[in-house]
Amino acid sequence: MAASQHNDGLSGGPPRFFAIEEPEPGVVLVGTCVRGISRSADSGATWEPVRGFDHVSINAFATAAGGEVLAATSGGLYRSDDRGLNWVQLDGEPIYATAPSGPDRPDGLRTFRLLALRDGRTLAGTDGSGVWARPSRAGWAPLGADGAIVHSLAETPTGAILAGTHDGGVLRSDDGGSTFQRSSGNLADTSVHALTVLSDGSILAGTGQGLSRSADDGRTWQPHADELDTHRVFCVRQLDNGRVMAGSYAHLWIGEHDTWRLVDPGLTPDETWTVHFHGDTIYAGAKAGVLLSQDRGRTFQNVAPGSVVYGFAGTSPDGVLAGGDWGVRAGPDWEPVGETGPRTFTLFEVGPDRLLAGTLGQGLMEYRDANWSPVAGGPPHPHAYHVLRSTSGRLLAGTGAVIDGAKAGGVFTSDDDGRTWTQTLAGRNYYSLAQTSDGTIYAGGRRCYISASSDDGDSWSQRPLPLGREAKMYSLYTDGQDRIFLGAGGQLLRSDDGAHTWVVLDEGIDGISFYDIREGPGSILAAATSSGVYTSADGGDSWQAGTLG
């Protein structure tokens, strides 16, 4: 069984569902990034996490004809002879891919996917070297798609070979893989993480912007499953009962056509995304809905189940708004506030009866005169992650987009309360904004690149990369003493010198991702994390976990 691996600070965050397997009808395994395996024996109705895979990433499953299941993981190759209940480690070499016959792959190449063809060959999708093939009694040799990063492979009913690539869409071969042509008409996104052939002969592609479906052997594509739009889908699998399971960056679904339900495999029961102080009351946005604590974060109650909640805003001495997959709702009864679209990520109260909502997929939205509408002069990017009002009264927004296959959002400023916006920082997605008492504004960008502005966001300079390494960027926050907190992968960092140097705060929180931090009365810090809500009374030196009642 896998040993727990010490967190390296680069990974962390939501589970990221990378692999799905059904070794026998009704028995389903899901494999995740750094959260191990969960198993269902009733087609996904109930789940039980598999013990022993803490901090292990499950990259691929494969089932042999005799029922043996292999798992390619960050901790090596594992085998289960009882449909995923128990596992034996075969070796300790980290691998990304396995076929039912094992993980044999081209020497010296990182292989992301293996596929056994009907003609007896095995294909390998590689990292930058295209597609390779191994005949049943010969060594590996390159095929076509040279130079492509291949994340997924599929064989269509007619024998065509499809390769899902990083930033290159779907490539299609009608000559056994010798040559490939791009076959991505109407594809939702150019990054294709998963390909699967359904029982009716159609093909689903999991992309960086949801699911696409092909009904013509992989030649052209159409959007599929509106509910999954804007989600990065890493794995797709049709179950024996005909329904389809899809896994994304933070969610797992089972569905068909346009009817889908979220599935909780029990790997992150306490995961929270945002926190908000309303007086002495702490609100937390969780996968399970809105959590509330009235004892300084020691215990929480779920007061509004039913949706993932990403952001809060206070609307009056007694009112709180929550934004998430359900749009925007108002407490304490949590009734809908208009219709903002599928995913509201951040909320900002501009003034009485006027709100800004940053959405994932529909850009910046405005609520005024009891109606929601896009901000006509707003940022052009489809993802709006954070809105901040600086001490001068200027508004700033951090945004994101995929432009020419690359993540390239920016920071925008507004001097008319959010009616029109001007871009002042570009080059990457910017997820968090914060300001210290000297007026310096900090923008937290993708991979933890932090920029600072001393002129209210007009110009920016880049700070040194924290700890000299890239990592997942989750949160950036400044407290009342101008300490800067950075949620970076599976670590929490703090800077006391304006983001020039950082220390790791790891006392009891090693491997936990910090998605949001807020300061409340008495300088108490509350944090939404991958393991629930934590509070600190000493500036982040030590943290205490709350419990869900």
Domain 107-224: give its CATH code: 2.130.10.10
Q: Which of 8-22, 296-310, 415-429, 516-530 has the lowest mean pLDDT?
A: 8-22
Is the per-residue pLDDT at 427 higher than 80? yes
Q: If pLDDT is split at 50, 70 and 90, which confidence band does 318 have?
A: low
Q: What is the dihedral of CA 196, 197, 199, 204, to 10 degrees?
A: 70
Longest dimension (CA), the chain: 74
CA distance 265 to 269: 9
Question: Which architecture characterizes domain 272-463+506-548 according to CATH?
Answer: 7 Propeller (2.130)
Which of these, 296, 303, 294, lies nearest to 322 by C-alpha position?
A: 303
Tokens of 190: 């150019």
Residue pair 290/282 in contact by the 8 Å Cβ criterion: no
Residue 172 confidence (pLDDT): 95
Q: Which of 53-62, 198-207, 488-497 has the lowest mean pLDDT?
A: 53-62
pLDDT tens-place string over residues 142-178: 998 999 999 999 999 999 999 999 989 999 999 999 9
Q: If pLDDT is split at 50, 70 and 90, which confidence band does 4 have?
A: very low
Residue 196 confidence (pLDDT): 96
Tokens of 281: 């009351």
pLDDT tens-place string over residues 213-222: 999 999 999 9
CA distance readout (Å), 227 to 209, 223, 248, 257, 300: 11, 11, 12, 10, 29
Residue pair 458/424 in contact by the 8 Å Cβ criterion: yes
Residue 3 confidence (pLDDT): 32
Is the per-residue pLDDT at 6 higher than 60? no
CA distance 194 to 19: 10
Residue with structure tokens 């396995």? 98
Helix (H, G, I), strand (E, B) or coil at 310: strand
Q: How far is CA 407 from the centre of its chain?
A: 14
- % of the chain at pLDDT higher than 90: 72
Helix (H, G, I), strand (E, B) or coil at 226: helix
**Which residues contact residue 374 at a Cβ distance below 8 angstroms, ignoring those fewer than 6 apart?**
362, 363, 364, 365, 366
Task: Give the start-end residues of each E strand in 130-267.
Answer: 131-134, 141-142, 150-155, 161-165, 170-173, 181-182, 192-197, 203-207, 210-214, 222-224, 233-238, 244-248, 252-256, 259-263
Residue 423 confidence (pLDDT): 98
Residue 5 confidence (pLDDT): 33
- Residue spans of the domains in the chain: they are 107-224, 272-463+506-548
Q: Averaged over 482-493, what is the pLDDT?
A: 93
Which of these, 441, 465, 468, lies nearest to 452 by C-alpha position?
A: 441
Residue 138 confidence (pLDDT): 79
Q: If pLDDT is split at 50, 70 and 90, which confidence band does 270 have?
A: confident
pLDDT tens-place string over residues 76-134: 999 999 999 999 999 999 999 999 988 899 999 999 999 999 988 999 999 999 999 99
Is the per-residue pLDDT at 459 higher than 80? yes
Same fold, 107-224 and 272-463+506-548: yes
Residue 15 confidence (pLDDT): 64
CA distance 469 to 9: 9
Is the per-residue pLDDT at 400 higher than 70? yes
